Structure 1
Amino acid sequence: MPQHFSVLSLKYDLKASLVVFLVALPLCLGIAVASGAPPMSGLIAGIVGGIIIGSLSGSHVSVSGPAAGLTVIVLDSISTLGTFELFLGTVVIAGLIQLIFGLLKGGVLGYYFPHSVIKGMLTAIGLILILKQIPHALGWDKDAMGDMAFLQIDNANTFSEIWYAIQYFSPGAIPITLISLLIIFFFERPKIKNNPILGIVPGALWAVVFGILANRFYSFFLPDWELSNEHLVNLPVVEKWEDFAGLITFPNFSKITSGDFWVIAITIAVIASIETLLSIEAGDKMDPKKRVTPASRELVAQGIGNSVSGLIGGLPVTAVIVRTSANIASGSKTKLAAILHGVLLLVLVVGIAGVLNQIPLSCLAAVLFMVGFKLAKPAIFVSEYEKGLNQFLPFIITVFAILFTDLLVGIGIGLIAGVFFVMRTNYRKSIQVTELNGRYLVKLQKDVSFLNKAPLRKALETIPDGSEVIINATKAQFIDHDIQEVLNDFINSASEKNIEVDTEGLKYNLEETL
């Protein structure tokens, strides 16, 4: 379905792109630093994710950029290959693998993730955002903002970092965080947000302006509270376009024949594809208009984007849920918002890097707090619980698994839990045996697999001699051979027990006995 841009949608998309830019800026830098890559590589990936993938994607709301889920893989890959340039070569090849996968319609795999697991992923990311931003909100900025895993490279973890922050906080950061939160909350109120004048500029941008001015106030009147160096955004300063070109790193393909090179390329392609499919599925569920993204087309777009990113010195790119959720929550209407956020990254990083480097990280932490809260509202837990334990338990298992490991491991655990509860539900509902006045109804529903063999045999053994039995399989779409065998045995031996058997919708073989 083609996307239609209009003057009306432009107003909303531009506003959303500003918020996504403010969310993406620290994450692009933070993920690059946490990955052991040059900071510029994260920005390049953000620019490519916005402009190129945003243009090619069929998604109306998804935003792409460097992914926190690949941080450890990137760090290990650079170490294994020896240089960042060789790693870039694997990113280019990974993109080509994704492109081929998309052309082969591999995106259909994204439709098999259970709703409870997707919801758990979103909620877990919201909680992680909140927990990971607490140290930055308190002015403890020893770790990059893009570090989203529970266990960190420095042997600390999410909760120990909060404890360190409480002990070694920066007093100037806390007022900036609290007042920034109040500003954002104020501009989120419907009367303000929908006001034709006050609603033009998003609250996140006003919070950033306040953060810069507050820190300048500290420098004049409270020098001990002034935030500097590690407490501020740290962009490479580019004074002219020629300098920007000088920061671009080109890939090295000299090890393309080695096994390590291909293992890394395939690993990046597979994991980036999984994270993308999860993110676009989650984004579609959050989209107020419930539009559906063509999954295979998304993989093609991501493949082209990753190859381009690798060719000009950027990190691997995926669709990312943090930026996507910020985009949706900010009221974007079309994919123009994603494209414009990439343009802002390109233009503003080159044009006003000096100004952006004055933004306190505590101020951006407030912006990410609000994104995290919208993903992990208490009402979400209540809503999932009301759907029953078969939905709630995979949801909560996914939440805690991601919270205490990382995105990919947690999703894997969540999928196992989801499949278990699906099988458990089907196991219970596939066979129903009821009795009325000595007449027994054995009803087979949905798919009846070998897992139902034991309870079926046990149920049939309890039917007393001389009974009337109806075996109804009209609603069974699939009956496993093992189940058919148990039924055949029962039917063939029924006359010995004076049991009268009638079947509905069941094919059986009177001669098939063990």
Structure 2
Amino acid sequence: MEPKNMFKELKSDLPASIVVFFVAVPLCLGIALASGAPLFSGIIAGIVGGIIVGMASGSALGVSGPAAGLAVIVLTSIATLGSWPAFLLAVVIAGIIQLAMGFARAGFIAYFFPSSVIKGMLTGIGLLIVLKQIPHALGYDKDAEGDDSFFQADGENTFSALAKAFEWITPGALLIASISIALLILWDTVLTKKHKIFQLIQGPIVVVILGIVMNYLFQNGILNFTLANDQVVQLPVAENFSQFLTQFTFPDFTQLTNPEIYKIAIVMAIVASLETLLCVEATDKIDPFKRVTPTNRELKAQGLGNIISGLIGGLPITQVIVRSSANISFGGKTKMSAILHGIFLLISAITIAGLLNMIPLASLAAILIMVGYKLAKPELFKQMYKLGWEQFIPFVATVVAILLTDLLKGITIGLLFGIFYTLRHSYRNSHHLQTNTTTEDGQKTFHLELAEEVSFFNKASVLKVLDEIPADSKVIIDCTKSKSIAHDVVELIVNYRTNAKTKNIKVETINFIEPIKN
């Protein structure tokens, strides 16, 4: 966008940016919480995603920031690397990889992942977020996140660890979480349909304000409950701008020789790029002006954002559908709304960090539990089931594998199931056989028409149908529609033509390209 045009739609972009800011604050803090990262890192990622990515992106309405889809990877990676600065180095390298992908014009990458696996990935992430946030909602914050894997090093598993959390309930936290979840459900299902004011004021920000008020009542003895220091947000509070600048964390460049850094960076780059590209596609579909986002430029913008976010202590960034859809719903017209929301986040981090430290973690847990539920709605399982086994099995396999292993293994297992069904489909559609009785003596003629693409995987099905042709028949092998026939299948046809004479089968070929003889 030209600088002179950036303020062209300010009357629409400014109100939208305020709404997106109110949506972003609790999500930035909540996703940092779910990631096991310093809460300030979520705010940093929101600022960078709004200002830096907003300016570099070609998306008119997409809003970037820390994403729930990466929370599980971040949580695992910090534990694997053993330090936050080491993880920040992985974020920087992931950004460099994304930048390179953008210049390599890899914006088409999302098209290679079946929708069943993508939906399974998002559903698995949603369920993991819910499972990991239940302890915070209960007020058990000592080891609330636990190990990311289902089977844990201490002999526990995800569900036994949750059972332990129920033994350490803090009534004040449980009260806040329960009221917050009820309010969010009421807001989404009833209030937003009643009046536009409930669409303008988002449910998550009301939950945050409610949490602050209840915490204040707890502290002043008006309500007979208490919250410990580790059950509320703990952002560093700067007395001035100079002190604010000292709060940023820098990567540990001594870890450049650690191979784990690069493994994590590659996983983050792939998942962040995939999530961004899917969000871009979704955002473009709901853009009232039906603008098309240049995907390669988006990868470059995200790469730049992750490099900067990693360098100053922020979480990894993607384009986020929650914020993008809020931006569209409340009248955003240009990328200025995304940039302004980033500026508002920066101002709030400098000026009202003390107020943000009044937010109970139970409030953020309630918001995240609802985010997780929306990603893993029961209706989605019904929809996938109705689409048939070819969609349902890879979807369920991805969800279960993510829950029992980790995100990368889960996606890989889902892809393997998806590939299996693709090959099975190819196996069944390699040819079409017609039977005609055309001769006076009643000799049967079989017309075998090969598909457009016949791979080595189709060899077994073609051989099977040829073997079933009875003796004293005629078979026409028609390759007219075939653009590509694997050498294995070509050899099979040549051999069959020779061996068919022993069964008195006459073989005729149409448009069959004979193999080159040595």
TM range (shorter): 0.7 to 0.9
Q: Is the 8 A contact 1:280 1:293 kept in 2?
A: no
Equivalent residue number for residue 471 of structure 2? 465
1:61 aligns with 2:62: yes
Q: Is the 8 A contact 2:212 2:360 kept in 1?
A: yes
Equivalent residue number for residue 485 of structure 2? 479
Residue type matched to 1:479 in 2?
Answer: I
User: For the residues of structure 2 that align with 1:410 and 1:306, how far apart are their CA atoms?
Assistant: 24
User: After the TM superposition, which of the residue ranges 168-177 and 431-440 deviates more from structure 2?
Assistant: 431-440
User: For the residues of structure 2 that align with 1:87 and 1:162, how far apart are their CA atoms?
Assistant: 27
Ranges in structure 2 where 5+ consecutive residues have no aligned partner:
438-443
Equivalent residue number for residue 366 of structure 1? 366
User: For the residues of structure 2 that align with 1:133 and 1:87, how far apart are their CA atoms?
Assistant: 22
The alpha carbon displacement at 1:495 in A equals: 5.0
Equivalent residue number for residue 74 of structure 2? 70
User: After the TM superposition, which of the residue ranges 421-430 and 51-60 deviates more from structure 2?
Assistant: 51-60
1:214 aligns with 2:219: no
User: For the residues of structure 2 that align with 1:498 and 1:377, how far apart are their CA atoms?
Assistant: 61
Decide whether aligned partners of structure 1 residues 165 and 252 sit closer, same or farther in structure 2, where only a CA change above 3 A counts: closer
Identical aligned residues as a percent: 41
The alpha carbon displacement at 1:152 in A equals: 6.2
User: For the residues of structure 2 that align with 1:136 and 1:344, how far apart are their CA atoms?
Assistant: 28
User: After the TM superposition, which of the residue ranges 187-196 and 451-460 deviates more from structure 2?
Assistant: 187-196
C-alpha distance after superposition, 1:163-192 (max 9, x if no partner): 122111111222222222232223224663
Decide whether aligned partners of structure 1 residues 105 and 414 sit closer, same or farther in structure 2, where only a CA change above 3 A counts: same
User: For the residues of structure 1 that align with 2:354 and 2:234, how far apart are their CA atoms?
Assistant: 9
C-alpha distance after superposition, 1:287-327 (max 9, x if no partner): 45287654432331222223222333435x2316xx53464
Q: Which aligned pairs between 1:42-53 and structure 2 lie closer than 5 A?
A: 42-53=42-53
User: For the residues of structure 1 that align with 2:403 and 2:201, how far apart are their CA atoms?
Assistant: 34
Equivalent residue number for residue 275 of structure 2? 279
1:27 aligns with 2:26: no
The alpha carbon displacement at 1:481 in A equals: 0.7
User: For the residues of structure 2 that align with 1:453 and 1:441, how far apart are their CA atoms?
Assistant: 18
Equivalent residue number for residue 229 of structure 1? 229
The alpha carbon displacement at 1:88 in A equals: 5.0
Q: Is the 8 A contact 2:397 2:414 kept in 1?
A: yes
Q: Which aligned pairs between 1:252-401 and structure 2 lie closer than 5 A?
A: 253=253, 259-260=257-258, 263=259, 266-284=262-280, 286-287=282-283, 288-289=285-286, 293-315=293-315, 317-319=316-318, 323-325=320-322, 327-328=324-325, 331=329, 338-401=338-401
Equivalent residue number for residue 192 of structure 2? 192
Q: Which aligned pairs between 1:141-220 and structure 2 lie closer than 5 A?
A: 141-143=141-143, 150=150, 156-189=156-189, 192-193=192-193, 195-220=195-220
Q: Which aligned pairs between 1:445-464 and structure 2 lie closer than 5 A?
A: 445-464=451-470
Aligned residues: 497
Equivalent residue number for residue 441 of structure 2? none
Q: Is the 8 A contact 1:390 1:425 kept in 2?
A: no
Decide whether aligned partners of structure 1 residues 462 and 364 sit closer, same or farther in structure 2, where only a CA change above 3 A counts: same
The alpha carbon displacement at 1:119 in A equals: 0.9
Decide whether aligned partners of structure 1 residues 89 and 383 sit closer, same or farther in structure 2, where only a CA change above 3 A counts: closer
Residue type matched to 1:395 in 2?
Answer: F
Equivalent residue number for residue 440 of structure 2? none
Instruction: Compute the TM-score of the two structures, normalised by the length of structure 2.
Output: 0.84
User: After the TM superposition, which of the residue ranges 386-395 and 421-430 deviates more from structure 2?
Assistant: 421-430
Instruction: Compute the TM-score of the two structures, normalised by the length of structure 1.
Output: 0.85
SS in 2 for 1:121: helix
RMSD, matched Cα: 3.4
Q: Is the 8 A contact 2:50 2:63 kept in 1?
A: no
Q: Is the 8 A contact 2:449 2:477 kept in 1?
A: yes
Q: Is the 8 A contact 1:485 1:512 kept in 2?
A: no
User: For the residues of structure 2 that align with 1:368 and 1:21, how far apart are their CA atoms?
Assistant: 13
Decide whether aligned partners of structure 1 residues 298 and 234 sit closer, same or farther in structure 2, where only a CA change above 3 A counts: same
Q: Is the 8 A contact 1:28 1:46 kept in 2?
A: no
Equivalent residue number for residue 111 of structure 1? 111
Q: Which aligned pairs between 1:68-107 and structure 2 lie closer than 5 A?
A: 68=71, 69-77=73-81, 84=85, 91-107=91-107
SS in 1 for 2:482: strand
C-alpha distance after superposition, 1:375-399 (max 9, x if no partner): 1111111111111111110011001
User: For the residues of structure 1 that align with 2:251 and 2:421, how far apart are their CA atoms?
Assistant: 46
User: For the residues of structure 1 that align with 2:94 and 2:281, how far apart are their CA atoms?
Assistant: 28
The alpha carbon displacement at 1:249 in A equals: 3.7
The alpha carbon displacement at 1:97 in A equals: 4.0
Q: Is the 8 A contact 1:119 1:282 kept in 2?
A: no
